[in-house]
Amino acid sequence: MYFIGIDLGGTQIKAGVVDEAGKVLAKAETATLAERPYQDVVRDMAACSLKALEEGNLTVDSVGGIGIGIPGIADNVTGRVVFCTNLGWHDIPLRDELNKYLQLPVVIDNDATVAGFAESVCGVSRGLHSSVFLTLGTGVGGGIVIDGKPWTGAHGVASEIGHLTMEVDGIPCTCGKSGCVERYCSATALIRMAGEVCLMHPDCAIMQQAGGDPKKITGRIVMDLAKQGDEFALRIFHRYTKYLAIAINTIISFLDPEMVVLGGGISHTGKFLIDGIVEKIPRYLMFKTMPFPSIALASLGNDAGIIGAAMLGRLGTDYV
Amino acid sequence: MYFIGIDLGGTQIKAGVVDEAGKVLAKAETATLAERPYQDVVRDMAACSLKALEEGNLTVDSVGGIGIGIPGIADNVTGRVVFCTNLGWHDIPLRDELNKYLQLPVVIDNDATVAGFAESVCGVSRGLHSSVFLTLGTGVGGGIVIDGKPWTGAHGVASEIGHLTMEVDGIPCTCGKSGCVERYCSATALIRMAGEVCLMHPDCAIMQQAGGDPKKITGRIVMDLAKQGDEFALRIFHRYTKYLAIAINTIISFLDPEMVVLGGGISHTGKFLIDGIVEKIPRYLMFKTMPFPSIALASLGNDAGIIGAAMLGRLGTDYV
C-alpha cells in the first residue's frame, strides 16, 4: 500500500507517493498561486497527486490515504482548514473539495507537526517515543510527537512553540502578541540582531558581505562568518543560540522528550549550531546533573513535508 | 483491592489507605523530621502506613501496592529518589528501604505530578485524556496527565512548569536560574509584589492588615482585600493574574490540554482568581477564536497527595 503526501506551502504545492516505510517513490510540484479561489488550489493539489502517481507508474487503487501538511491548523473531524493565514484561508472544506477528485481518506495537520512526524517515522528521531521538532525559518514552527504519534492537543492548537512567551511584553510579534519565542529564535530574529550590529558597526564583515545593504543580510551570511571566527558574527551567534538554549530548556522542563530536532533554514548551519546550543543548555537546566534530550539536526530535508503528510495519511485520524 | 498512598512532605508524612476509585478509607500522619537519617524517615513512612491500615481495620494482604509523592524526582526503574532538596535527599534507595517493612510494589513520583493525577482520577479533571495541574504555593509545581496517565518525561524531569523561563535574565530563582515562572506566579511572588506596593504606600490597607510589618503580608491578605475592591490589592491582583494568564497560555500553546487545574494555597482564592485569569487569557492566545482549555480549581484539597500516590500505586510503573 502507498500513501500520498501533500505539502501545501504559500508558494509551492508539492505532492509525493510514499511507501509504508516513508520512502518517496515519485513526486510532483506546482505553484500555489494562493490568491486564487481555494477550489483552484485544491484542484491543483489533486492534479499534482495524480501526476506523482503517474511518474511512479502507480494507480489510485494502490493508495491507502492522503495526508496534507498546511501552514495553519485543521479540524480532522470535519476535514476543514480552520486557519491558514499565508493562504488567506479560513474555514475551508479541504477534505470534501479534494474528495471531488480523489476518493480517499484525507488527514490534515500543521506543516511543522507533519515534518516532525516524518523525522520520527524515518528521520533522525526514528522510532523514538517522544520528540519535539522546531523549524527555524522565517518563523519558528513546532511539532510534538508523543507515543510515536503527532500531538496536536485537545483543541488542535498545541505545539505552537514559536508563540510561547519568552519575554513578558517583549518584542511585538506578527501574531499580535509580544515577546514570542519566534521573535528571538527565528531566522528573522537572527537577521534583526545582525542588523542591530551593522547599524553600530557599518564597516563590519556582515555589512560587507551584504554589499552594504542591511536588507541583504541573510542567516547564511551571519552563520558563515561566525564559523570563520568573525568577532561580530560570533557575538550575534552566541546571543541567538542563548535564546535557542532557553527555548529548548522550556521544552525540556515542560515535556522532557527523548530528542529535540532542529529543522528549517537555520538548521543548515549544522554541527556548529548544535554545539553552540548544547554548550549553553546546562546553564538553564532545572536538574543540572540529570541527562537531557539529545539535540539533533533534521535529516529529511525538503522531503519531510511530503513524507510526514503521507505517514499521516497512513496513520489515519485515530491520533486526533 | 486497596492501595497505600504516602504524601512525603518537608514537615509531615501522611499515609492513607485508598480504594480503587480513589476514596480515602483511613489515614495517619507524623512529623517528617527531615534532618534525621533517611532510614528513620522511611521507617516512619512504613509505621504511618501500618497505622492507617489499622485505623481502617485492614491488613497488608488487602493492599495491591504503595505509591509515594515526594517534593523531588525519582527513578522508578531503580526505585531511588534522585533529588529531594527539601529533605536533603540525594540518590536514596527509597523503595528498597520501604520494602524492609512492607513487601509491596512501590511507585514514586513528584508531588505535583501525583496531585494532578489524583484530580484526573477522581477530582475536577476526572476522566479527561489530558490535563495540566499547577500548584500555586511557596513555589509553582506542575503535573501533566496525558492519555489519563502521569507524564514525567524521557528523563523524569518533565512538568517543571514553575521553572520555564518567563523573562530572559529576569528575577533570580531559588533553582539557580533567572526569570522562572515561579518567580512571577507563586504565592511568594504575590507577597513580593505586595511588599513592593507597601514600600511605596506604607499606609495602604495591605500594610494595615499586616500590622505594619511587611514580613507579615500573606497571599490571603492580598486576595481578600482585592475581593473587597481595595485599589492597591486589585492592582497587585491584576499584575499577578496577568503573569498567570501568560503561564497558562504557554501551557495552551505548548500542549493544549483539555483542562488546566489550579491547586495550592493561592487557589483557595476561588472563583475570583479563576475569573481574573480567564478574563486575561484571550490577550495571549495564538488563535483567538479557537476554544481553549477550561481553567478549574483543584477539588481534592489536602487529600490529593494521598489519593494520587495511591492511584500511582494502583497504576504500577507501566506509565514511566
Residue pLDDT, tens place only, B118-138: 999 999 999 999 999 999 999
- The whole-number pLDDT of residue B288 equals 86
Helix, strand, or coil here: A163?
helix
Classify domain A128-298 at the CATH class level.
Answer: alpha beta
Q: What Rg value do the Cα atoms of chain B yield, rounded?
A: 20
On whether any CB of chain A is under 8 Å from the CB of B288, the answer is yes
pLDDT for the residue B286: 87
- The burial class, CB within 10 Å (0-12 / 13-18 / 19+), for A207 is buried
Say whether A128-298 and A2-119+302-319 share the same fold.
Answer: yes
CB pairs under 8 A between A and B: 137
Instruction: Answer yes or no: CATH 3.30.420.40 is held by domain B2-119+302-319.
Output: yes
List C-alpha distances in Å: A292 to A260, A299, B70.
10, 21, 21
Single out the residue of B112, B170, B165, B119 nearest to residue B139, CA to CA. B112
- Measured between CA atoms, how close is A249 to chain B, in angstroms? 8
Cβ separation of B177 and A292 shorter than 8 Å? no
Which of B164, B184, B193, B294 to mutate to test binding with chain A, by most A CBs within 10 Å of its CB?
Answer: B164
Q: Phi/psi zone of residue A235: left (φ > 0), alpha (ψ -120 to 50 degrees), beta?
A: alpha
Q: What mean pLDDT is predicted for residues B41-70?
A: 97
Cα atoms in the 13 Å half-sphere on the side-chain side of A160:
23
pLDDT of residue A319: 74
> Is residue B167 very low, low, confident or very high in pLDDT (cuts 50, 70, 90)?
very high
Beta-carbon separation of B291 and A155 below 8 A: yes
Which residues in chain A touch residue B160, judged by CB atoms under 8 angstroms apart?
Answer: 253-254, 286
Among B102, B104, B111, B93, which residue's Cα sits nearest to residue B13? B111
Look at A157 and B73 and tell me if their CB atoms are within 8 Å: no
Query: What pLDDT sits at residue A288?
Result: 86
Residue pLDDT, tens place only, A136-162: 999 999 999 999 999 999 999 999 999
Of B154, B255, B283, the CB nearest to A256: B154
Residues 6+ apart with CB under 8 A from B200: none
Selected for mutation to probe chain B from A75, A120, A145, A287 (highest B CB count within 10 Å) is A287
Position of cell 514514586?
B108
Q: What is the domain partition of chain A in residue ranges?
A: 2-119+302-319, 128-298
The alpha-carbon gap from B251 to the nearest alpha carbon of chain A, in Å, equals 8
pLDDT at A47: 98
Spatial separation of the C-alpha atoms in residues A194 and A186, rounded to whole Å: 13
Q: Is B237 helix (H, G, I), strand (E, B) or coil?
A: helix
Chain A residue numbers touching B293 (CB-CB < 8 A): 154-155
Q: Which residues contact B229 (CB under 8 A, 6 or more apart)?
A: none
Our CA-based measurement puts residue A194 at a distance from the nearest CA of chain B, in whole angstroms, of 19
Q: Mean pLDDT in chain B?
A: 96
- The model carries a pTM of 0.95
Q: Kindly tell me if the per-residue pLDDT of B289 is higher than 90.
A: no
Segment 143-182 of chain A within 8 Å of chain B by CB:
144, 146-147, 151-161, 163-168, 175-177
CB contact under 8 A, A250 and B165: yes
Nearest CA distance, A229 vs chain B (angstrom) = 26
Report the share of chain B in percent with pLDDT over 70. Answer: 100
Looking at beta carbons, which residues of chain A come within 8 Å of B153? Answer: 130, 255-257
Q: For A247, which residue in chain B has the nearest alpha carbon? A: B165
CB B76 within 8 A of CB B317: yes
* pLDDT above 90 for B277: yes
What is the per-residue pLDDT for B86?
A: 80
pLDDT of residue B163: 96
Identify the pLDDT of residue A286.
87
Instruction: Using the Cα atoms of residue A143, residue A145, residue A150 and residue A155 in order, give the sign of their dihedral.
Output: negative
What letter would DSSP give residue A52? H
B271 pLDDT band, cuts 50/70/90, is: very high
* Residue B168 dihedral angles phi and psi, to the nearest 5°: -60, 130
A260 contact partners, CB below 8 Å, separation of at least 6: A131, A132, A133, A134, A248, A251, A252, A293, A294, A295, A296
Residues of chain A with pLDDT under 70: 320
pLDDT in tens, B89-107: 999 999 999 999 999 999 9
Q: Nearest-CA neighbor of A39 among A79, A94, A111, A86?
A: A94
Q: Closest Cα to residue A104, out of A77, A48, A65, A60?
A: A65
Q: Which residues of B touch A158 (CB under 8 A)?
A: 253-256
Closest residue, chain B, to A132 (C-alpha)? B254
Query: Cell digits for B111?
Result: 508531588
Per-residue pLDDT of B205-250, as tens digits, reads: 999 999 999 999 999 999 999 999 999 999 999 999 999 999 999 9
For the cut 90, the answer to whether the pLDDT of residue B287 exceeds it is no
pLDDT of residue B229: 98
Pick from A130, A168, A175: CB nearest B286: A175
Q: Where are the alpha helices (DSSP H) in A164-291?
A: 182-185, 187-200, 205-209, 219-227, 231-254, 271-278, 281-284
CB contact under 8 A, B158 and A284: no
Q: How far apart are CA B292 and CA A160, in angstroms?
A: 14
Chain B residues close to A159, C-beta within 8 Å: 254, 256
Cα B166 to Cα B242: distance, rounded to the nearest angstrom: 12
Task: Say what the pLDDT of residue A289 is.
Answer: 87
For an interface test with A, the pick among B90, B125, B165, B288 (most A C-beta atoms closer than 10 Å) comes out as B165
CB contact under 8 A, A165 and B163: no
DSSP structural state of residue A7: E
Task: Please report residues of A whose CB lies closer than 8 A to that of B82.
Answer: 287, 290
CA distance A100 to A216: 44
A160: nearest CA partner in chain B: B253
Put simply, the answer to whether B163 touches A129 (Cβ < 8 Å) is no
Q: How far apart are CA B279 and CA B274, in angstroms?
A: 8
Which chain B residues in 28-67 lie under 8 Å from chain A, judged by CB atoms? none
Between helix A304-315 and helix A111-122 the angle, nearest 10°, is: 80
- pLDDT tens-place string over residues A219-230: 999 999 999 999
Please report the pLDDT score of residue B253 as a whole number. 97
Residue A290 with chain B: CB contacts under 8 Å: 73, 82, 155-157
CA angle A76, A82, A84 (to 5 degrees): 120
- Residue A194: CB atoms within 10 A of its CB come to 28
CB pair distance less than 8 Å for B254 and A177: no
Q: Kindly tell me the burial class for residue B214, based on how many C-beta atoms sit within 10 Å of its own C-beta (0-12, 13-18, 19 or more).
A: middle
**Residue A77 CB burial class (10 angstroms; 0-12, 13-18, ≥19):** exposed
What pLDDT band is residue B170 in, cutting at 50, 70 and 90?
very high
Residue B194 pLDDT grade (very low, low, confident, very high; cuts 50, 70, 90)? very high
